[in-house]
Amino acid sequence: MTNPILYVAVADDNLRHAIKTGLPAGYTTSFYNDLDSLTTAAHDKKPDLILCHQDLIGHEQTLALGSLKTASPDSKILVIGSRRPIAIQIEALTHGARGYFDSSLPVAKLHEALQMILHGEVWVERHVISGLIDELTHIPEISEQQRQAVAALSPKELEVAKLVSHGATNKMIAKSMDITERTVKAHLTTIFHKMAIPDRLSLAIFFRDLR
């Protein structure tokens, strides 16, 4: 079995050194100093895991995570940083990250977190879970007919829907698929009609639930 490919974007030299020396040898790891170089590399190579520092994401967390998911939709993203308010952690989870890791924890725990998200789980502090559930209580129930309607989507429509579920904007989707934003909007209109889904949020939640 090949080692999982891990891309790390951390500007702090001490934290970078701790990650480089503290993680076990079972990763093929590349390091980046900024979000742009990480996003470009992820688009080219599609890593299994992405570890990105909150300081590099900044206040535009939704946009930054959307860009990463558009560049490499199947990569599992873990945000790392100092302890942040629950709202910020929930925002990261609802926009494509698989967890938020407190950088004050030992690197051995980071390995545990990466392995959990690699295998489809999430890494969150226990008290964040209830907040995440509260955040998502308004999600509409998905019908069996809607699930079956996925088979009626064309390959392009399916790709658009999956990118939406990763938080990508129409502009990001158009760039990723090399089509116009007008075409993206046309695909979304067709998807909403075929699946009887009222809006973009419902579509995003539906396809995230399928993953």
| pLDDT exceeds cutoff 60 at 70 | yes
Query: What 3-state DSSP class applies to 211?
Result: coil
More confident residue, 133 or 25: 25
Share of the chain above pLDDT 90, in %: 37
Measured CA to CA, the distance from residue 124 to residue 80 in angstroms comes to 11
CB atoms < 10 A from the CB of 192, how many? 16
Confidence label for 41 from pLDDT (cuts 50, 70 and 90) = very high
> What length does the chain have?
211
Task: Give the pLDDT confidence of 125-135 residue by residue, as tens digits.
Answer: 655 555 554 55
pTM of the model: 0.65
Residue owning tokens 């940083």: 81
Measured CA to CA, the distance from residue 167 to residue 67 in angstroms comes to 8
Q: What are phi and psi of 210, to 5 degrees?
A: -75, -20
Per-residue burial over 83-96, b = 16 or more CB atoms within 10 Å of its CB, e = otherwise: eeebebbbbbbbbb
Measured CA to CA, the distance from residue 75 to residue 68 in angstroms comes to 9
Confidence label for 16 from pLDDT (cuts 50, 70 and 90) = very high
Domains, the chain, in order of start with CATH, read: 5-135 (3.40.50.2300), 144-210 (1.10.10.10)
